[in-house]
Amino acid sequence: MGRPPFLFNVTVKSPIDIRMNENKFAKKIVCVGAGYVGGPTMVVIANKCPDYKVTVVDISEERINAWNSDELPIYEPGLKDRVDKARGKNLFFSTDIDRNIDEADIIFVSVHTPTKTFGEGAGKASDLQYIEQTARRIKENSTSSKIIVEKSTLPVRAAETMASILHSGANSVRFEILSNPEFMAEGTAIRDMEEPDRILIGSHDTVTGNAARDELLKIYLKWVPREKIITTNLWSSELSKLVANAFLAQRISSINSISALCEVTEADISEVAGAVGRDSRIGSKFLEAGVGFGGSCFRKDLLNLVYLCEYYKLDDVAKFWSSVVEINDNQMERFVNCILKTMFRTLVDKKITIFGFAFKPDTGDTRDSPAIYICKRLLEEKARLSITDPHAISNAKKDLTGIDGTAEFVENPYEAAKGAHCLALITGWSEYLSLDYQKIFDSMLKPAFIFDGRNHLDHQKLFEIGFNVYPIGRPPLTHI
């Protein structure tokens, strides 16, 4: 039988050769978790620090095999080129977690911290079971002292929990815990890591804590200017990540709330946002109205922040941040209701083509994507869905598995649009800007509708072709 496609062609080396090769590295870094954060982060570090051995470990053999293949498990612009450059040299992917933990000098913890779905804090608090499991595994397999770096987004003072586990029992091995939250946005993760706005490192203000901080500083100083590296205490670093995501989500919900007002007053949300954003105190970023935010972080971190505020009896603060989530959910429901109302208050057996399923362009990630909620609601109304996306079809199929209704998944957007009653654009992929909308219009049932959930397309041009166009926060352009 032939060699599996994900394996490298390697020459068998003697133990002496292997030891000599290992000794050429200044430090050995291990990242536990090969997902959207751990993978790209370690790829950049490996490229910027060729004298460090970087190994990404994960319990999923399927995921590790994908990292060792030409078909990476995640899509991110620029990622594959950098993997190809470093893989097999100083960048490695492995399922041998225990051995790599023991050999590591620095361990990044980048495991899943989803919102709890059970017990105390269900629906709000972070589920830390994977953090605890990882801490126990590190403790069990470490024969030398190590620096542990929190990369996962964690609630404030989570490092205390990890320290309690790592230092429990009779153990001469010592661990120093740092907080180093990621501020990468999917779709621009490589650029965000290589050209960051800031790097944040939280540590204990002790001799050993500062020494551990300085070791992590050495890594980032390979390519990040010192003035962009912020050092804080451990708790400030943990909270800063939650607050950063909460503020970004709050801006999105703020502009979306105003989009609803624009629609009933005939104001234009783009003009309002443009005028407001010119104020240097406010700025223009994250002021684009749409169907709502998604992704793995915003909702999870907001709910975690709400839970923390409730835990500390800060009820008014909790209500404020909870309203950000409520407005986001209402925005998705408004979009569905607009489709239902416009299409003569019935969607039964009508074909609706969904343009985009990923939570944002330039990623295949669909976690908490608005498309999930919107598609489920449209299926509840008995619509037939034809879903297309450049990179998220496989994830879309998983997200809608077991949902009653008719949904097909089509790679070609022209095929997806054939015979449709309307198009609903949910993800603002650049590919959708260059489509031949005259061709699409000609293939659809009439009257043909477009509901642009991201204000992404040229609405006047679409109207002139013959579409009835329904944007977010702007007056519709209709022929009926």
Give catalytic residues, as residue numbers.
Answer: 297
Distance CA 160, CA 168 (A): 12
Q: How far is CA 287 from the centre of its chain?
A: 19
Euclidean distance between CA atoms 5 and 256, whole angstroms: 47
Q: How many CA atoms lie within 13 A of 341 on its CB side?
A: 7
CA–CA dist 221, 228 (Å, integer): 10
Residue/partner pairs of 58-62 with CB below 8 Å, 24 or more apart: 58/32, 58/33, 58/34, 58/93, 58/95, 58/97, 59/95, 59/97, 60/34, 60/95, 61/95
Token digits of residue 265:
């007053």
Task: Dump the DSSP string for 102-159.
Answer: HH-SEEEE----PBP-SSTTTTTSB--HHHHHHHHHHHHH-SS-EEEEE-S---TTHH
Q: Are 240 and 183 in contact (CB under 8 A)?
A: no
CA angle 470, 476, 477 (to 5 degrees): 100
CA–CA separation, 73 and 58 (whole Å): 13
Q: Helix 370-380 and helix 315-342: axis angle, to 10°?
A: 50
Q: Are strands 199-203 and 52-57 parallel, antiparallel or unpaired?
A: unpaired
Is residue 386 a contact partner of residue 354, using CB atoms and an 8 Å limit?
A: yes
What distance in Å separates the CA atoms of residue 480 and residue 463, rounded to the nearest whole number? 12
d(CA 283, CA 154): 28
- Tokens for 410? 């089509």
